[in-house]
Amino acid sequence: MHLKSSLLLAVACAVGAGAAHAQTTGLDLAKNKACMACHQVEAKRVGPPLKSVAERYAGQGDAMVDYLAGKIRGGGRGAWGAVPMPAQTQVSPEDARHLAEWILSLAPAKQ
């Protein structure tokens, strides 16, 4: 888990704007990919607050990264309300996984 995250971060930093922190890198990526047109970290916009997404799925294991990466690229509906999320096919599978890791990292640490 630790090693994998570090690898992902290393990749993201190499590709991204060279931001020093995971949070910043993830947020920059989310801004780049226009996620923040519909999402905010703390508050509901068109889509659910990313912190709430993190709270719902964090601590459920590594499979959640794949699940969320799939939802990011494929879109989804019904998990949070009536408004569907359109598929974000402009996001590469690697970026989708990195975004999913970042979103899950927004959850407050649990026991």
C-alpha 72/C-alpha 66 separation (Å) is: 10
Write each residue from 62 to 101 as x if it is in contact with ligand HEC (CB under 6 A), else as -, in one continuous string: ------x--xx---xxxxxx-xxxx-x--x-------x--
Question: How many CA within 13 A on the CB side of residue 90?
Answer: 7
Choice between 18 and 78, CB closer to ligand HEC: 78
Answer for the pair 99, 26: CB distance below 8 angstroms, yes or no: yes
Choice between 4 and 77, CB closer to ligand HEC: 77
What is the token pair recorded at 2?
A: 């630790």
| Interface ranges with ligand HEC (CB under 6 A) | 30, 33-35, 37-39, 46-48, 53, 68, 71-72, 76-81, 83-86, 88, 91, 99, 103
